[in-house]
Amino acid sequence: MIQIHDKQFVPFISEEELDRIVSEMADRINRDYYGKRPVIIGILNGSFMFLSDLMKKLEIDVELSFLKFSSYHGIQSTGTVKQLIGLADELDDRHVLVLEDIVDTGNTLEKILSVLESHDLQSLKIGTLLVKPEVFQNKYDLDYVGTEIPDKFVVGYGLDYDELGRNLKQIYQLAEQGGIND
């Protein structure tokens, strides 16, 4: 068990399991984009560790760009998604793969897709390391899903609790058992 700020967290997904999940996703992306040069758009801040590990496993030519959104305060989603960093790259007539660290309600994903709809993309796919199917409310298909998790707050491997815990090598789940959804 670890403590971050005022909350305790228990181990949830090991470093070894994360490596397996990322390797399987990289294999699929390598197959699907063989002969193409996609632009991968990582969603900051949470996706940086996942993307770093994924990029090392990709054998295709890729370009990398980032968007930054914020929707959390503490362990609760605010319900409002703010764009903090935008795209600098030209995406028209490109294959685009958006990669998230975690998708829960889908509000951030909806905002990301609204930013991309002004571009004439050749293709658009969406991937996420983690998804919470119990609360995912969107009409968008997720093309690449690392693993499904229950509707519990998680931290580590890029995911944070009030900006702490991103540097943890594995993912931890909130130890409390009730009343808290993110």
- State the chain's mean pLDDT as an integer: 87
- Classify residue 33: in a domain, yes or no: yes
42 is in which domain, residue-wise? 15-149
- The CATH number of whichever domain residue 109 belongs to comes to 3.40.50.2020
Q: Into how many domains does the chain fold?
A: 1
* pLDDT value of residue 181: 37
- Classify residue 74: in a domain, yes or no: yes
Q: Which is it for strands 154-155 and 171-174: parallel, antiparallel or unpaired?
A: antiparallel
Nearest Cα to Cα of residue 171 among 5, 8, 14, 1:
14
What would the mean pLDDT of 49-65 be, rounded to a whole number?
96
Q: Is the pLDDT of residue 75 over 90?
A: no
Token pair 């990582």 is found at: 42
In this prediction the pTM is: 0.86
* pLDDT value of residue 180: 38
Q: Which residues are catalytic?
A: 104
Most confident option among 2-16, 84-98, 101-115: 2-16
* pLDDT value of residue 182: 36
What would the mean pLDDT of 130-142 be, rounded to a whole number?
88
